[in-house]
Amino acid sequence: MSELRPTWSESESLVALRAATAAAQRVPLVVARQAGLSHSEMVALDHLSRGPLGPGELARLLELTTAAATGVVDRLVAHGHADRVPRADDRRRTEVRLTDEGRAEVVRRLLPMFAALQQLDESFDAREREVVARYLRGAAAAFETLTGPAPERQPATSADSEA
């Protein structure tokens, strides 16, 4: 059994990182439950809060099949949180947009956390924030040794915006 124990020790910063990542993992689950949404629906709202997406692009960001992502969009539309609208550059294609109600839901649920994080960030001087940012980028890179990089938002193409 002792051979399964790590040969490294946890510093105070590693213990704090473990606590922060555990708390961060719970956020979308708790917020989704409070809002009466699935985890995937909450994550989709987060992506849509940054701007409209084609259904294919949303599926890629959610790491779901297009069929599963269509179900997520259907439920968001039914809740009044999102709309399917024709793309301005190709009206045969659609994109999914966050409604005002959907945006209000995201803001209402997440604003207290963002305000607390901003207050914490402002408690550090510029040099301290540089160190924190370097540590967090390194931690993200360490996580990605297992997960691979997270899907990034790509510019919409007509292939992403199928009906």
Domains and CATH numbers, the chain: 31-161 (1.10.10.10)
Q: Per the structure block, which two tokens stand in for 87? A: 């793309």
Q: Per the structure block, which two tokens stand in for 152? A: 């990034």
Amino acid found at 23: A
Q: pLDDT digit string (tens) for 128-162?
A: 999 999 999 999 999 999 988 878 876 554 444 44
- The whole-angstrom separation of Cα 61 and Cα 153 is 7
Q: How many CA atoms lie within 13 A of 56 on its CB side?
A: 12
- pTM here? 0.74
Q: Per the structure block, which two tokens stand in for 9? A: 């020790």
The helix/strand/coil state of 94 is strand
Q: Which residue has the tokens 């606590």?
A: 19
- The whole-angstrom separation of Cα 84 and Cα 158 is 15
Q: pLDDT digit string (tens) for 84-126?
A: 999 888 888 899 999 999 999 888 989 999 999 999 999 999 9
